[in-house]
Structure 1
Protein backbone atom coordinates (compact mmCIF):
# COMPACT_ATOMS: atom_id res chain seq x y z
CA UNK A 1 0.00 0.00 0.00
CA UNK A 2 1.48 3.31 -1.08
CA UNK A 3 1.51 6.13 1.49
CA UNK A 4 2.31 9.80 0.98
CA UNK A 5 4.77 10.02 3.85
CA UNK A 6 3.07 13.23 4.97
CA UNK A 7 2.95 14.02 8.66
CA UNK A 8 -0.67 15.13 9.09
CA UNK A 9 0.07 16.81 12.41
CA UNK A 10 2.56 19.05 10.61
CA UNK A 11 0.00 19.62 7.86
CA UNK A 12 -2.58 20.61 10.45
CA UNK A 13 -0.20 23.18 11.94
CA UNK A 14 0.41 24.64 8.47
CA UNK A 15 -3.37 24.88 7.94
CA UNK A 16 -3.86 26.77 11.21
CA UNK A 17 -0.94 29.13 10.56
CA UNK A 18 -2.26 29.91 7.06
CA UNK A 19 -5.74 30.61 8.46
CA UNK A 20 -4.44 32.74 11.35
CA UNK A 21 -1.90 34.61 9.22
CA UNK A 22 1.06 34.03 11.50
CA UNK A 23 2.89 31.61 13.79
CA UNK A 24 2.25 33.60 16.98
CA UNK A 25 -1.53 33.66 16.58
CA UNK A 26 -1.53 29.99 15.59
CA UNK A 27 0.52 29.12 18.68
CA UNK A 28 -1.95 31.02 20.89
CA UNK A 29 -4.88 29.20 19.30
CA UNK A 30 -3.26 25.79 19.71
CA UNK A 31 -1.76 26.47 23.14
CA UNK A 32 1.75 25.63 21.96
CA UNK A 33 5.10 27.42 21.92
CA UNK A 34 5.95 29.53 18.87
CA UNK A 35 9.19 27.57 18.46
CA UNK A 36 7.23 24.29 18.32
CA UNK A 37 5.01 25.54 15.51
CA UNK A 38 7.99 26.94 13.58
CA UNK A 39 9.88 23.66 13.84
CA UNK A 40 6.87 21.67 12.64
CA UNK A 41 6.41 23.99 9.64
CA UNK A 42 10.09 23.69 8.71
CA UNK A 43 9.86 19.91 8.96
CA UNK A 44 6.81 19.89 6.65
CA UNK A 45 8.45 22.12 4.04
CA UNK A 46 11.59 20.01 4.18
CA UNK A 47 9.64 16.76 3.71
CA UNK A 48 7.76 18.01 0.63
CA UNK A 49 10.62 20.11 -0.76
CA UNK A 50 8.60 23.29 -1.23
CA UNK A 51 8.12 26.58 0.61
CA UNK A 52 4.48 26.89 1.68
CA UNK A 53 4.43 30.27 3.46
CA UNK A 54 6.15 33.57 2.88
CA UNK A 55 6.11 36.92 4.75
CA UNK A 56 3.92 39.73 3.48
CA UNK A 57 4.16 42.69 5.80
CA UNK A 58 3.46 41.38 9.30
CA UNK A 59 1.60 38.33 8.03
CA UNK A 60 2.52 34.96 6.64
CA UNK A 61 0.67 34.16 3.43
CA UNK A 62 0.65 30.97 1.34
CA UNK A 63 2.95 30.72 -1.64
CA UNK A 64 1.58 29.27 -4.88
CA UNK A 65 2.44 25.79 -3.58
CA UNK A 66 0.95 26.76 -0.21
CA UNK A 67 -2.37 27.78 -1.79
CA UNK A 68 -2.57 24.41 -3.53
CA UNK A 69 -1.75 22.61 -0.28
CA UNK A 70 -4.30 24.75 1.57
CA UNK A 71 -7.10 23.69 -0.78
CA UNK A 72 -6.32 20.04 0.00
CA UNK A 73 -6.11 20.78 3.72
CA UNK A 74 -9.64 22.21 3.67
CA UNK A 75 -10.91 18.94 2.21
CA UNK A 76 -8.80 16.71 4.46
CA UNK A 77 -9.77 18.31 7.75
CA UNK A 78 -13.41 18.83 6.74
CA UNK A 79 -13.62 15.10 6.00
CA UNK A 80 -11.90 14.41 9.30
CA UNK A 81 -14.56 16.40 11.15
CA UNK A 82 -17.30 14.64 9.20
CA UNK A 83 -15.77 11.26 10.03
CA UNK A 84 -15.78 12.06 13.75
CA UNK A 85 -19.38 13.31 13.55
CA UNK A 86 -20.44 10.22 11.61
CA UNK A 87 -18.83 7.90 14.17
CA UNK A 88 -20.45 9.75 17.07
CA UNK A 89 -23.85 9.71 15.36
CA UNK A 90 -23.55 6.01 14.47
CA UNK A 91 -22.78 5.22 18.09
CA UNK A 92 -25.86 7.20 19.15
CA UNK A 93 -28.03 5.45 16.57
CA UNK A 94 -28.30 8.54 14.34
CA UNK A 95 -27.72 9.15 10.64
CA UNK A 96 -26.26 12.24 8.95
CA UNK A 97 -27.38 13.63 5.58
CA UNK A 98 -25.43 16.56 4.15
CA UNK A 99 -27.55 18.22 1.48
CA UNK A 100 -26.77 20.91 -1.06
CA UNK A 101 -29.85 22.92 -2.06
CA UNK A 102 -29.70 24.83 -5.32
CA UNK A 103 -30.61 28.50 -4.87
CA UNK A 104 -33.12 28.21 -7.70
CA UNK A 105 -35.06 25.35 -6.07
CA UNK A 106 -38.25 26.47 -4.26
CA UNK A 107 -37.48 26.20 -0.57
CA UNK A 108 -40.90 24.75 0.15
CA UNK A 109 -40.11 21.93 -2.27
CA UNK A 110 -36.79 21.32 -0.50
CA UNK A 111 -38.66 21.18 2.81
CA UNK A 112 -41.21 18.72 1.41
CA UNK A 113 -38.45 16.46 0.13
CA UNK A 114 -36.36 16.55 3.29
CA UNK A 115 -39.37 16.18 5.57
CA UNK A 116 -39.54 12.57 4.41
CA UNK A 117 -36.28 11.84 6.25
CA UNK A 118 -37.86 12.70 9.60
CA UNK A 119 -40.25 9.74 9.55
CA UNK A 120 -37.49 7.12 9.34
CA UNK A 121 -36.86 4.61 12.12
CA UNK A 122 -33.37 6.04 12.59
CA UNK A 123 -33.02 9.70 13.57
CA UNK A 124 -31.58 11.78 10.71
CA UNK A 125 -29.45 14.84 11.33
CA UNK A 126 -29.78 17.21 8.37
CA UNK A 127 -26.95 19.53 7.35
CA UNK A 128 -28.26 21.85 4.61
CA UNK A 129 -26.13 24.17 2.49
CA UNK A 130 -27.47 26.52 -0.17
CA UNK A 131 -25.38 27.73 -3.09
CA UNK A 132 -25.29 28.07 -6.85
CA UNK A 133 -25.74 24.85 -8.81
CA UNK A 134 -22.17 24.63 -10.16
CA UNK A 135 -20.61 25.22 -6.73
CA UNK A 136 -22.76 22.50 -5.21
CA UNK A 137 -21.73 20.03 -7.91
CA UNK A 138 -18.07 20.74 -7.16
CA UNK A 139 -18.66 20.15 -3.44
CA UNK A 140 -20.54 16.93 -4.24
CA UNK A 141 -17.64 15.69 -6.37
CA UNK A 142 -15.24 16.45 -3.51
CA UNK A 143 -17.32 14.42 -1.08
CA UNK A 144 -18.48 17.41 0.96
CA UNK A 145 -22.14 16.62 0.19
CA UNK A 146 -24.20 13.43 0.09
CA UNK A 147 -26.71 14.79 -2.42
CA UNK A 148 -27.74 17.95 -4.26
CA UNK A 149 -31.42 18.86 -4.59
CA UNK A 150 -32.08 21.00 -7.63
CA UNK A 151 -34.49 21.88 -10.42
CA UNK A 152 -32.16 20.94 -13.28
CA UNK A 153 -30.25 17.95 -14.53
CA UNK A 154 -26.51 17.64 -15.10
CA UNK A 155 -25.42 18.06 -18.71
CA UNK A 156 -24.29 14.84 -20.36
CA UNK A 157 -20.59 14.61 -21.06
CA UNK A 158 -19.54 16.96 -18.27
CA UNK A 159 -16.20 16.66 -16.50
CA UNK A 160 -17.78 15.70 -13.15
CA UNK A 161 -18.82 12.11 -12.54
CA UNK A 162 -22.20 12.74 -10.96
CA UNK A 163 -25.63 11.33 -11.77
CA UNK A 164 -29.07 12.92 -12.03
CA UNK A 165 -32.10 11.19 -10.52
CA UNK A 166 -35.52 12.61 -11.43
CA UNK A 167 -37.54 12.88 -8.22
CA UNK A 168 -40.73 14.29 -9.63
CA UNK A 169 -42.41 17.15 -11.42
CA UNK A 170 -45.26 19.57 -10.92
CA UNK A 171 -47.29 21.75 -13.24
CA UNK A 172 -47.23 25.47 -12.51
CA UNK A 173 -49.69 28.11 -11.40
CA UNK A 174 -49.43 31.90 -11.38
CA UNK A 175 -49.82 33.64 -8.02
CA UNK A 176 -49.96 37.18 -6.74
CA UNK A 177 -51.07 39.24 -3.78
CA UNK A 178 -54.87 39.72 -3.76
CA UNK A 179 -54.65 43.24 -5.23
CA UNK A 180 -52.79 42.02 -8.30
CA UNK A 181 -54.71 38.75 -8.55
CA UNK A 182 -58.04 40.60 -8.71
CA UNK A 183 -56.69 42.83 -11.46
CA UNK A 184 -55.27 40.11 -13.73
CA UNK A 185 -57.37 37.02 -13.00
CA UNK A 186 -60.16 37.74 -15.50
CA UNK A 187 -59.72 36.36 -19.03
CA UNK A 188 -56.49 34.63 -18.01
CA UNK A 189 -53.93 34.37 -19.62
CA UNK A 190 -54.77 37.14 -22.14
CA UNK A 191 -55.21 39.43 -19.11
CA UNK A 192 -51.44 39.27 -18.48
CA UNK A 193 -50.68 41.75 -21.27
CA UNK A 194 -48.39 44.34 -19.57
CA UNK A 195 -48.80 42.57 -16.19
CA UNK A 196 -45.74 42.77 -13.91
CA UNK A 197 -44.00 39.38 -13.73
CA UNK A 198 -41.26 38.14 -11.42
CA UNK A 199 -39.23 35.43 -13.15
CA UNK A 200 -36.02 33.41 -12.71
CA UNK A 201 -32.87 34.58 -14.49
CA UNK A 202 -32.11 33.14 -17.92
CA UNK A 203 -29.69 30.50 -16.64
CA UNK A 204 -32.66 28.79 -14.98
CA UNK A 205 -34.33 26.03 -17.03
CA UNK A 206 -37.80 27.20 -15.99
CA UNK A 207 -37.19 30.68 -17.43
CA UNK A 208 -36.99 29.37 -20.98
CA UNK A 209 -40.26 27.49 -20.52
CA UNK A 210 -41.95 30.62 -19.14
CA UNK A 211 -40.80 32.69 -22.13
CA UNK A 212 -42.12 30.02 -24.50
CA UNK A 213 -45.44 29.88 -22.65
CA UNK A 214 -45.86 33.67 -22.94
CA UNK A 215 -45.15 33.55 -26.68
CA UNK A 216 -47.59 30.67 -27.20
CA UNK A 217 -50.35 32.65 -25.50
CA UNK A 218 -49.38 35.87 -27.32
CA UNK A 219 -48.82 37.68 -24.05
CA UNK A 220 -46.35 40.56 -23.67
CA UNK A 221 -45.96 40.89 -19.94
CA UNK A 222 -43.63 43.36 -18.22
CA UNK A 223 -40.68 41.69 -16.48
CA UNK A 224 -40.64 43.53 -13.16
CA UNK A 225 -37.75 41.50 -11.75
CA UNK A 226 -35.38 38.62 -12.51
CA UNK A 227 -33.99 36.56 -9.64
CA UNK A 228 -31.25 33.96 -9.27
CA UNK A 229 -32.53 32.98 -5.85
CA UNK A 230 -36.06 31.57 -5.60
CA UNK A 231 -36.52 32.70 -2.00
CA UNK A 232 -35.75 36.29 -3.03
CA UNK A 233 -38.27 36.03 -5.88
CA UNK A 234 -40.93 34.87 -3.44
CA UNK A 235 -40.11 37.71 -1.04
CA UNK A 236 -40.71 40.30 -3.76
CA UNK A 237 -43.88 38.47 -4.81
CA UNK A 238 -45.18 38.42 -1.27
CA UNK A 239 -44.72 42.18 -1.10
CA UNK A 240 -46.72 42.82 -4.27
CA UNK A 241 -43.96 43.72 -6.75
CA UNK A 242 -45.37 41.32 -9.35
CA UNK A 243 -47.00 38.01 -10.22
CA UNK A 244 -44.94 34.84 -9.98
CA UNK A 245 -45.10 31.19 -11.01
CA UNK A 246 -44.88 28.39 -8.45
CA UNK A 247 -45.50 24.61 -8.51
CA UNK A 248 -49.17 23.76 -8.11
CA UNK A 249 -48.15 21.21 -5.47
CA UNK A 250 -47.35 24.19 -3.23
CA UNK A 251 -50.59 26.14 -3.80
CA UNK A 252 -51.76 25.90 -0.18
CA UNK A 253 -48.30 26.73 1.18
CA UNK A 254 -48.03 29.76 -1.12
CA UNK A 255 -51.33 31.12 0.18
CA UNK A 256 -50.55 30.39 3.83
CA UNK A 257 -46.93 31.53 3.93
CA UNK A 258 -46.75 34.22 1.25
CA UNK A 259 -50.27 35.63 1.38
CA UNK A 260 -50.55 35.15 -2.39
CA UNK A 261 -53.58 33.74 -4.18
CA UNK A 262 -54.17 31.96 -7.46
CA UNK A 263 -54.30 34.04 -10.64
CA UNK A 264 -54.49 31.17 -13.14
CA UNK A 265 -53.30 27.70 -14.13
CA UNK A 266 -50.42 27.06 -16.52
CA UNK A 267 -50.55 23.26 -16.96
CA UNK A 268 -48.23 23.41 -19.98
CA UNK A 269 -45.49 24.70 -17.69
CA UNK A 270 -43.82 22.00 -15.62
CA UNK A 271 -40.98 22.16 -13.14
CA UNK A 272 -38.77 19.13 -12.54
CA UNK A 273 -36.95 18.20 -9.33
CA UNK A 274 -33.74 16.18 -9.20
CA UNK A 275 -31.41 14.54 -6.72
CA UNK A 276 -27.79 14.63 -7.92
CA UNK A 277 -25.46 12.04 -6.41
CA UNK A 278 -22.02 10.55 -6.90
CA UNK A 279 -23.61 7.13 -7.44
CA UNK A 280 -25.61 5.83 -10.37
CA UNK A 281 -27.64 3.84 -7.85
CA UNK A 282 -28.79 5.66 -4.69
CA UNK A 283 -27.61 3.85 -1.57
CA UNK A 284 -27.97 6.38 1.25
CA UNK A 285 -31.02 5.30 3.30
CA UNK A 286 -32.20 8.89 3.84
CA UNK A 287 -32.12 9.64 0.10
CA UNK A 288 -33.97 6.37 -0.53
CA UNK A 289 -36.64 7.59 1.92
CA UNK A 290 -37.02 10.82 -0.09
CA UNK A 291 -37.44 8.89 -3.35
CA UNK A 292 -39.96 6.56 -1.70
CA UNK A 293 -41.99 9.53 -0.46
CA UNK A 294 -42.05 11.03 -3.95
CA UNK A 295 -43.26 7.75 -5.44
CA UNK A 296 -45.98 7.67 -2.77
CA UNK A 297 -47.43 10.94 -4.06
CA UNK A 298 -45.43 13.63 -2.27
CA UNK A 299 -46.33 16.21 -4.92
CA UNK A 300 -49.99 15.28 -5.23
CA UNK A 301 -52.24 18.32 -4.79
Structure 2
Protein backbone atom coordinates (compact mmCIF):
# COMPACT_ATOMS: atom_id res chain seq x y z
CA UNK A 1 0.00 0.00 0.00
CA UNK A 2 1.21 3.50 -0.88
CA UNK A 3 1.78 5.39 2.38
CA UNK A 4 1.45 8.83 0.72
CA UNK A 5 -2.11 10.17 0.74
CA UNK A 6 -3.27 12.30 -2.19
CA UNK A 7 -5.40 14.96 -0.52
CA UNK A 8 -6.98 16.02 -3.81
CA UNK A 9 -8.36 12.50 -4.20
CA UNK A 10 -9.53 12.59 -0.57
CA UNK A 11 -11.27 15.92 -1.20
CA UNK A 12 -13.14 14.50 -4.20
CA UNK A 13 -14.25 11.50 -2.15
CA UNK A 14 -15.31 13.72 0.77
CA UNK A 15 -17.30 16.03 -1.51
CA UNK A 16 -19.14 13.12 -3.16
CA UNK A 17 -19.95 11.59 0.22
CA UNK A 18 -21.10 14.96 1.60
CA UNK A 19 -23.20 16.03 -1.41
CA UNK A 20 -24.60 12.57 -2.11
CA UNK A 21 -23.60 12.11 -5.74
CA UNK A 22 -20.82 12.51 -8.29
CA UNK A 23 -22.99 14.96 -10.25
CA UNK A 24 -23.51 17.27 -7.27
CA UNK A 25 -19.79 17.06 -6.38
CA UNK A 26 -18.79 17.90 -9.97
CA UNK A 27 -20.93 21.06 -9.83
CA UNK A 28 -19.40 22.12 -6.53
CA UNK A 29 -15.82 21.34 -7.56
CA UNK A 30 -16.31 22.46 -11.19
CA UNK A 31 -14.78 19.26 -12.48
CA UNK A 32 -16.06 16.67 -14.95
CA UNK A 33 -17.85 13.72 -13.30
CA UNK A 34 -15.49 11.32 -15.06
CA UNK A 35 -12.50 13.09 -13.46
CA UNK A 36 -13.98 12.76 -10.00
CA UNK A 37 -14.97 9.11 -10.48
CA UNK A 38 -11.56 8.19 -11.87
CA UNK A 39 -9.66 9.78 -9.00
CA UNK A 40 -11.90 8.20 -6.37
CA UNK A 41 -11.09 4.83 -7.99
CA UNK A 42 -7.40 5.70 -7.64
CA UNK A 43 -7.97 6.44 -3.94
CA UNK A 44 -9.67 3.04 -3.57
CA UNK A 45 -6.66 1.42 -5.23
CA UNK A 46 -4.39 3.10 -2.68
CA UNK A 47 -6.57 1.94 0.23
CA UNK A 48 -7.14 -1.45 -1.44
CA UNK A 49 -10.76 -1.22 -0.29
CA UNK A 50 -14.02 0.06 -1.76
CA UNK A 51 -15.35 3.40 -0.50
CA UNK A 52 -18.78 3.28 -2.13
CA UNK A 53 -21.27 0.64 -3.23
CA UNK A 54 -24.18 0.99 -5.57
CA UNK A 55 -27.74 0.96 -4.20
CA UNK A 56 -30.01 1.38 -7.20
CA UNK A 57 -28.92 4.68 -8.79
CA UNK A 58 -27.39 5.98 -5.58
CA UNK A 59 -23.90 5.72 -4.13
CA UNK A 60 -23.74 4.52 -0.54
CA UNK A 61 -20.68 4.54 1.66
CA UNK A 62 -19.27 1.16 2.57
CA UNK A 63 -18.44 0.50 6.19
CA UNK A 64 -14.81 1.28 5.38
CA UNK A 65 -15.92 4.41 3.47
CA UNK A 66 -17.82 5.66 6.52
CA UNK A 67 -14.63 5.50 8.60
CA UNK A 68 -12.62 7.29 5.88
CA UNK A 69 -15.34 9.96 5.60
CA UNK A 70 -15.12 10.70 9.35
CA UNK A 71 -11.36 11.17 9.05
CA UNK A 72 -11.75 13.31 5.91
CA UNK A 73 -14.42 15.44 7.58
CA UNK A 74 -12.10 16.12 10.49
CA UNK A 75 -9.15 16.89 8.18
CA UNK A 76 -11.03 19.44 6.07
CA UNK A 77 -12.72 21.04 9.08
CA UNK A 78 -9.27 21.55 10.61
CA UNK A 79 -8.20 23.06 7.27
CA UNK A 80 -11.03 25.59 7.50
CA UNK A 81 -10.05 26.40 11.08
CA UNK A 82 -6.48 27.00 9.91
CA UNK A 83 -7.66 29.47 7.24
CA UNK A 84 -9.85 31.21 9.81
CA UNK A 85 -6.79 31.60 12.04
CA UNK A 86 -4.68 32.95 9.16
CA UNK A 87 -7.40 35.48 8.32
CA UNK A 88 -7.87 36.54 11.94
CA UNK A 89 -11.21 34.83 12.50
CA UNK A 90 -12.09 33.03 15.69
CA UNK A 91 -12.84 29.37 14.99
CA UNK A 92 -16.49 29.09 14.13
CA UNK A 93 -17.07 32.74 15.02
CA UNK A 94 -16.73 36.32 13.79
CA UNK A 95 -13.60 38.04 12.60
CA UNK A 96 -11.32 38.72 15.58
CA UNK A 97 -9.21 41.83 16.15
CA UNK A 98 -7.07 42.18 19.27
CA UNK A 99 -5.74 45.74 19.54
CA UNK A 100 -3.13 46.94 22.02
CA UNK A 101 -3.21 50.65 22.91
CA UNK A 102 -0.77 52.80 24.85
CA UNK A 103 -2.39 54.56 27.81
CA UNK A 104 -1.55 58.02 26.47
CA UNK A 105 -3.74 57.57 23.39
CA UNK A 106 -7.20 59.00 24.24
CA UNK A 107 -10.03 56.46 24.28
CA UNK A 108 -12.15 58.72 22.07
CA UNK A 109 -9.36 58.77 19.47
CA UNK A 110 -9.11 54.97 19.58
CA UNK A 111 -12.84 54.71 18.96
CA UNK A 112 -12.61 57.07 15.99
CA UNK A 113 -9.62 55.19 14.56
CA UNK A 114 -11.54 51.92 14.82
CA UNK A 115 -14.61 53.25 12.98
CA UNK A 116 -13.58 51.59 9.66
CA UNK A 117 -13.40 48.25 11.48
CA UNK A 118 -16.75 48.71 13.21
CA UNK A 119 -18.30 49.70 9.86
CA UNK A 120 -17.24 46.46 8.15
CA UNK A 121 -20.01 44.33 6.70
CA UNK A 122 -18.54 41.34 8.46
CA UNK A 123 -19.11 40.94 12.20
CA UNK A 124 -15.94 41.75 14.16
CA UNK A 125 -15.10 40.68 17.71
CA UNK A 126 -12.94 43.46 19.21
CA UNK A 127 -10.52 42.94 22.08
CA UNK A 128 -8.70 46.04 23.37
CA UNK A 129 -5.80 45.96 25.83
CA UNK A 130 -3.58 48.68 27.26
CA UNK A 131 0.12 48.76 28.04
CA UNK A 132 3.46 50.44 27.48
CA UNK A 133 4.81 50.41 23.94
CA UNK A 134 7.53 47.84 24.74
CA UNK A 135 4.91 45.56 26.30
CA UNK A 136 2.69 45.87 23.25
CA UNK A 137 5.58 45.05 20.91
CA UNK A 138 6.36 41.96 22.98
CA UNK A 139 2.70 40.91 22.74
CA UNK A 140 2.80 41.42 18.96
CA UNK A 141 5.80 39.11 18.75
CA UNK A 142 3.98 36.47 20.82
CA UNK A 143 0.94 36.89 18.54
CA UNK A 144 -1.17 37.94 21.51
CA UNK A 145 -2.06 41.11 19.58
CA UNK A 146 -2.97 41.72 15.95
CA UNK A 147 -1.98 45.41 15.94
CA UNK A 148 -0.92 48.15 18.38
CA UNK A 149 -1.93 51.83 18.41
CA UNK A 150 0.63 54.30 19.75
CA UNK A 151 1.38 58.03 19.79
CA UNK A 152 4.83 57.51 18.26
CA UNK A 153 6.50 55.11 15.84
CA UNK A 154 8.62 52.33 17.31
CA UNK A 155 12.22 53.31 16.65
CA UNK A 156 15.09 51.32 15.15
CA UNK A 157 16.49 50.72 18.64
CA UNK A 158 13.79 48.10 19.16
CA UNK A 159 15.10 44.54 19.26
CA UNK A 160 12.19 43.52 17.04
CA UNK A 161 11.62 44.67 13.48
CA UNK A 162 8.36 46.58 13.36
CA UNK A 163 6.31 48.37 10.71
CA UNK A 164 4.83 51.77 11.60
CA UNK A 165 1.70 52.97 9.81
CA UNK A 166 0.58 56.59 10.27
CA UNK A 167 -3.17 56.42 10.91
CA UNK A 168 -3.96 60.10 11.37
CA UNK A 169 -2.76 63.31 12.93
CA UNK A 170 -4.55 66.08 14.78
CA UNK A 171 -4.08 69.55 16.12
CA UNK A 172 -4.08 70.03 19.90
CA UNK A 173 -6.77 72.03 21.66
CA UNK A 174 -6.80 73.42 25.20
CA UNK A 175 -9.96 72.57 27.14
CA UNK A 176 -11.38 73.38 30.55
CA UNK A 177 -14.55 73.81 32.56
CA UNK A 178 -16.61 76.89 31.59
CA UNK A 179 -15.26 78.79 34.63
CA UNK A 180 -11.61 78.03 33.78
CA UNK A 181 -12.16 78.61 30.05
CA UNK A 182 -13.74 82.04 30.64
CA UNK A 183 -10.75 83.07 32.72
CA UNK A 184 -8.17 82.44 29.97
CA UNK A 185 -10.08 82.93 26.73
CA UNK A 186 -9.14 86.58 26.39
CA UNK A 187 -5.50 87.00 25.43
CA UNK A 188 -5.05 83.32 24.54
CA UNK A 189 -2.45 81.79 24.46
CA UNK A 190 -0.45 84.22 26.64
CA UNK A 191 -3.27 84.00 29.17
CA UNK A 192 -2.18 80.43 29.92
CA UNK A 193 0.83 81.75 31.81
CA UNK A 194 0.52 80.56 35.45
CA UNK A 195 -2.90 79.01 34.72
CA UNK A 196 -3.53 75.61 36.40
CA UNK A 197 -2.73 72.81 33.95
CA UNK A 198 -3.04 69.05 33.70
CA UNK A 199 -0.59 67.29 31.39
CA UNK A 200 0.32 63.77 30.32
CA UNK A 201 3.40 62.30 31.99
CA UNK A 202 6.81 63.25 30.61
CA UNK A 203 7.19 60.04 28.58
CA UNK A 204 4.40 61.06 26.18
CA UNK A 205 5.02 62.78 22.86
CA UNK A 206 2.27 65.38 23.35
CA UNK A 207 3.81 66.46 26.68
CA UNK A 208 7.16 67.15 25.01
CA UNK A 209 5.73 69.07 22.06
CA UNK A 210 3.45 71.14 24.30
CA UNK A 211 6.35 72.10 26.56
CA UNK A 212 8.27 73.19 23.47
CA UNK A 213 5.24 75.29 22.43
CA UNK A 214 5.01 76.87 25.90
CA UNK A 215 8.73 77.69 25.85
CA UNK A 216 8.54 79.24 22.37
CA UNK A 217 5.84 81.64 23.62
CA UNK A 218 7.39 82.29 27.02
CA UNK A 219 4.40 80.73 28.76
CA UNK A 220 4.79 78.93 32.08
CA UNK A 221 1.53 77.27 33.20
CA UNK A 222 1.18 75.97 36.75
CA UNK A 223 1.41 72.18 36.57
CA UNK A 224 -1.10 70.74 39.04
CA UNK A 225 -1.37 67.17 37.77
CA UNK A 226 0.35 64.58 35.55
CA UNK A 227 -1.43 61.50 34.20
CA UNK A 228 -0.32 58.37 32.40
CA UNK A 229 -3.89 57.57 31.40
CA UNK A 230 -5.53 60.05 29.02
CA UNK A 231 -9.04 59.28 30.30
CA UNK A 232 -8.06 60.06 33.91
CA UNK A 233 -6.55 63.35 32.79
CA UNK A 234 -9.87 64.39 31.25
CA UNK A 235 -11.82 63.21 34.29
CA UNK A 236 -9.81 65.52 36.55
CA UNK A 237 -10.13 68.25 33.94
CA UNK A 238 -13.91 67.80 34.11
CA UNK A 239 -13.71 68.37 37.88
CA UNK A 240 -12.13 71.79 37.32
CA UNK A 241 -8.69 70.94 38.67
CA UNK A 242 -7.00 72.49 35.66
CA UNK A 243 -6.97 73.12 31.92
CA UNK A 244 -5.88 70.19 29.76
CA UNK A 245 -4.81 69.38 26.19
CA UNK A 246 -6.67 67.01 23.89
CA UNK A 247 -6.76 66.23 20.14
CA UNK A 248 -9.01 68.52 18.09
CA UNK A 249 -9.89 65.37 16.14
CA UNK A 250 -12.38 64.55 18.91
CA UNK A 251 -13.10 68.07 20.22
CA UNK A 252 -16.89 67.78 19.94
CA UNK A 253 -16.93 64.43 21.72
CA UNK A 254 -14.73 65.77 24.54
CA UNK A 255 -16.92 68.83 25.05
CA UNK A 256 -20.08 66.71 25.14
CA UNK A 257 -18.74 63.90 27.32
CA UNK A 258 -16.79 65.95 29.88
CA UNK A 259 -18.92 69.15 29.83
CA UNK A 260 -15.89 71.31 29.07
CA UNK A 261 -15.18 74.05 26.53
CA UNK A 262 -12.40 74.55 24.04
CA UNK A 263 -10.35 77.64 24.84
CA UNK A 264 -8.20 77.59 21.73
CA UNK A 265 -5.68 75.60 19.73
CA UNK A 266 -1.95 75.17 20.23
CA UNK A 267 -0.98 76.61 16.85
CA UNK A 268 1.55 74.51 14.95
CA UNK A 269 1.36 71.60 17.41
CA UNK A 270 0.31 68.26 15.87
CA UNK A 271 -0.19 64.89 17.51
CA UNK A 272 0.21 61.74 15.41
CA UNK A 273 -1.20 58.27 15.94
CA UNK A 274 0.35 55.10 14.57
CA UNK A 275 -0.53 51.48 14.06
CA UNK A 276 2.43 49.20 14.78
CA UNK A 277 2.70 45.69 13.37
CA UNK A 278 5.34 43.03 12.91
CA UNK A 279 3.89 41.79 9.62
CA UNK A 280 4.96 43.47 6.38
CA UNK A 281 1.78 42.37 4.61
CA UNK A 282 -1.35 42.07 6.72
CA UNK A 283 -3.83 39.23 6.15
CA UNK A 284 -6.42 40.03 8.80
CA UNK A 285 -9.23 41.92 6.99
CA UNK A 286 -9.94 43.97 10.12
CA UNK A 287 -6.32 45.15 10.30
CA UNK A 288 -6.46 46.02 6.59
CA UNK A 289 -9.61 48.07 7.22
CA UNK A 290 -7.90 49.87 10.12
CA UNK A 291 -4.87 50.72 7.98
CA UNK A 292 -7.08 51.92 5.17
CA UNK A 293 -5.53 49.81 2.41
CA UNK A 294 -5.15 46.20 1.30
Residue 290 (structure 1) aligned with residue 290 (structure 2): yes
- Deviation string, structure 1 residues 80-115 (Cα, Å, up to 9, x no partner): xx98x95984534x2000110111101001111123
Query: What's the CA shift for 1:291?
Result: 2.5
Tell me the residue number matched to 1:239: 239
Distance 2:290 2:155 in 1: 23
Cα distance change, pair 88–261 in 1 and its aligned pair in 2 (3 A): closer
Whole-angstrom CA distance in 2 between matches of 1:166 and 1:88: 25
| Residue of structure 2 equivalent to 1:178 | 178
2: CA distance between counterparts of 1:275 and 1:282?
12
| 1:227 alignment counterpart | 227
CA distance in 2, matches of 1:88, 1:159: 29
What is residue 267 of structure 1 aligned with on the other side?
A: 267
Does the alignment pair 1:96 with 2:96? yes
Partner of 2:188: 188
CA contact (8 A) 1:103 1:133 kept: no
In 2, are the aligned partners of 1:141 and 1:162 still within 8 Å (CA)? no
Q: Distance in 1 between matches of 2:207 and 2:200?
A: 6
SS in 1 for 2:128: strand
- The CA deviation at 1:292 is 2.3
| 1:206 aligned residue | 206
Give 1:1-301 correspondences, 5 Å limit: 89-92=90-93, 94-292=94-292
| Contact residue 100 and residue 129 of structure 1 kept, 8 A | yes
Question: Does the aligned pair in 2 maintain the 1:169–1:271 contact within 8 Å?
Answer: yes
Q: Give the Cα separation in 2 of the matches to 1:112 and 1:271.
A: 15
Q: CA deviation at 1:223?
A: 0.7
Structure 1 SS opposite 2:292: helix
Q: Paired residue for 1:68?
A: none
Given that 1:141 and 1:161 are in contact with CA atoms closer than 8 Å, whether structure 2 keeps it comes out as no
Deviations 1:52-87 (A, max 9, x none): xxxxxxxxxxxxxxxxxxxxxxxxxxxxxx98x959
Q: Measure the CA separation in 2 of the matches of 1:123 and 1:101.
A: 21
Residue 91 of structure 1: SS of its match in structure 2? coil
Cα distance change, pair 176–88 in 1 and its aligned pair in 2 (3 A)? closer
Preserved CA contact (<8 Å) 2:89 2:96: no
2:68 aligned residue? none
Larger radius of gyration: 2
Deviation string for 1:253-301 (max 9, x for gaps)? 01110111011111311110000111123332112212229xxxxxxxx
What is the TM-score with the length of structure 1 in the denominator? 0.66
TM-score (norm 2): 0.68
Distance 1:284 1:225 in 2: 40
Aligned counterparts of 1:268 and 1:98: Cα–Cα separation in 2? 34
What is the alpha-carbon root mean square deviation over aligned residues?
Answer: 2.1
| Aligned-partner Cα distance in 2 for 1:267–1:284 | 38
- Cα displacement (A) at 1:170: 0.4
